[in-house]
Amino acid sequence: MAEGEGNRLSRITTKVGIALRSQFQQFKRTQLYNLNTFRQQPLQEISGSFGDLGTLLPILIAYTDKNRSSHSGIDLSSTLVFTGLFNIITGLIWGIPLPVQPMKAIAAVALTRHFHKEEVASAGLFVAASIGLLSATGLLGWFNRRIPIPIIKGIQIGVGLSLFSYAGTVLSKSEQYGWEFSDMHDPIVFLAFLGLLASMTFRKVPMALILLFMGIFVALPSLIRNSSALSIWRPYTFIPSFTSFLNEGISAGLGQIPLTTLNSIIAVSALSADLLPNVAAPTPTGMGFSVTAMNLVGCWFGSMPVCHGSGGLAAQYRFGARSGASVIFLGLIKLLLGLFAGRFANQSFQEFPNAILGIMIFAAALEIANVGETLNTIGARDLMEGKDGIITALPRANQKDDEPGDELTSEMRTRRWTVTFVTAGGILTFKNDAVGFIAGMLCHCSYQLHDRIVARRTQREGTIRLEDDGGRAPLAGAP
């Protein structure tokens, strides 16, 4: 008996050792790939590391700007430290330019409703716990399949439109903004907006970086007059109250879950395999645990709720990033700023001109709202191109392999747009993603209920007609 237990323990130990050696070899190959790629194209890797600033900077600046709110929704130093660490860790583990982005749905709600740190942290922790549960139980794929695509698009459009509204609020509060070009700021703002329009055609222009430098140039006189000495990061923790978690955390976090599931987990895994086929793509489960770990660690310190994103991965790839070295470089910069220059970074953000910030938020809103245009195209996950270029729905689970899906008719297109706009309208009207999500689900279910009632009525009428025909047939043939 003891010998059998010893043999089983030995087999388990051997298997664990083999698994650890395999993981170590994979980690070693990843670091060699990062190092060799950076040596071959250092400028491209550095350039690509800033490709996602258009999403990060506007939300980060708006989160921490006390001039636009009586309090800050996050701690800037903690956010820089932890997002820098997360950049470095993800670059080391996966070896791809995986971004660390703000959770946009939470950011939109937090900015428009002026959340405190406790409320922002509650939303991030709620999403982290939910994604962790879905990843651990295997429900992640089920949840992703169950939410209709029009609702996902509606949430994305609603979040984008909320940020458009917030951009207008920021611009209206700008003391420098005006149409009479009375000082140096106005032509800069006008040129910035023209540059934003031009970047829609010339996608490789790093417009976010240009806008950042323009904002620093405008704020430079104030920074020189009120420059702060270097400051050492002093971490502190806090525990969000149960009231904050129940009221604001769940309502703001609920709308983020489908966005994180779709854009930060499923889409990232698929996109990385397409863009970088020679590098092992992260699994959806791995992405889910990554999002969970980042927020379960950082939110207690006042760090901004973060996730990954397929848009950021594509942006960094487009500007030259091909390995984890790019995000490791960005992470080191953020880590150093957070550890030694958090006060200066915070002051820089406070002096950042509202007008340019508004345009940057406008650009971020445009990027996320623009995804809705694929709702009725093969860019949508539930649609495919059938024979003769006809767009059809993906085959149902009970269909045979050789049976095509339902053709996307004009009525189906209208219904999908209706569900999408009901979802977006609920978010904008009530300033609550959860309300928009529920409204979209109710609209979708009402269409399904209508179809079932019509199908049952048609079936009943057909049965009655057949019975009537069967009853009259002998009379017609009688002598």
Residues 6 or more apart in contact with residue 435 via CB below 8 angstroms: 251, 426, 427, 429
DSSP secondary structure code for residue 391 in this structure = E
What confidence score (pLDDT) does residue 174 get? Answer: 60
Residue 404 φ/ψ, nearest 5 degrees: -75, 160
3-state DSSP assignment of residue 392: strand
* Whether 60 contacts 349, CB under 8 Å: yes
DSSP secondary structure code for residue 200 in this structure = T
The count of other CB atoms within 10 Å of the CB of residue 334 is 23
Is the CA virtual torsion 178, 183, 185, 188 positive or negative? Answer: positive
d(CA 43, CA 307): 26
Residue 102 φ/ψ, nearest 5 degrees: -65, 150
The count of other CB atoms within 10 Å of the CB of residue 134 is 23
DSSP 233-291: ---------HHHIIIIIHHHHHTHHHHIIIIIIIHHHHHHHHH-TTSPPPPHHHHHHHH
Pairing of strands 101-102, 383-385: unpaired
- Residue identified by tokens 């009586």 is 70
What confidence score (pLDDT) does residue 179 get? Answer: 38
d(CA 49, CA 73): 26
What confidence score (pLDDT) does residue 181 get? Answer: 37
Is the CA virtual torsion 243, 245, 250, 252 positive or negative? Answer: positive
What confidence score (pLDDT) does residue 278 get? Answer: 85
d(CA 399, CA 161): 38
d(CA 12, CA 290): 27
108, amino acid identity:
A
DSSP 57-113: HHHHHHHH-TTSSSS-SS-HHHHHHHHHHHHHHHHHHH-S----EE-HHHHHHHHHH
- Report how far apart, in Å, the C-alpha atoms of 326 and of each of 25, 43, 98, 102 are: 22, 10, 9, 18
Q: Which residue blocks in 277-393 are alpha helix, DSSP H?
A: 284-298, 310-318, 325-340, 342-351, 354-369
Q: Is 17 exposed, middle or buried (0-12, 13-18, 19+ CB in 10 A)?
A: exposed
3-state DSSP assignment of residue 27: helix
pTM summary value: 0.72
Structure tokens at 417: 């747009």
* Whether 82 contacts 37, CB under 8 Å: no
Structure tokens at 196: 């934003």
Taking alpha carbons only, the member of 328, 299, 344 closest to residue 78 is: 299
Residues 6 or more apart in contact with residue 351 via CB below 8 angstroms: 219, 222, 223, 226
d(CA 415, CA 265): 28
DSSP secondary structure code for residue 309 in this structure = -
* Whether 90 contacts 330, CB under 8 Å: no
* Whether 316 contacts 43, CB under 8 Å: no
The count of other CB atoms within 10 Å of the CB of residue 204 is 11
Is the CA virtual torsion 140, 315, 420, 386 positive or negative? Answer: negative
For the chain, list residues with pLDDT below 50: 67-68, 70, 176-184, 401-402, 473, 475-479
* Whether 84 contacts 335, CB under 8 Å: yes
DSSP 95-110: -S----EE-HHHHHHH
- Which string of b and e fits 206-240 if b means at least 16 CB within 10 Å? bbbbebbebbeebbeeebeeeeeeebebeeeeeeb
The count of other CB atoms within 10 Å of the CB of residue 145 is 11
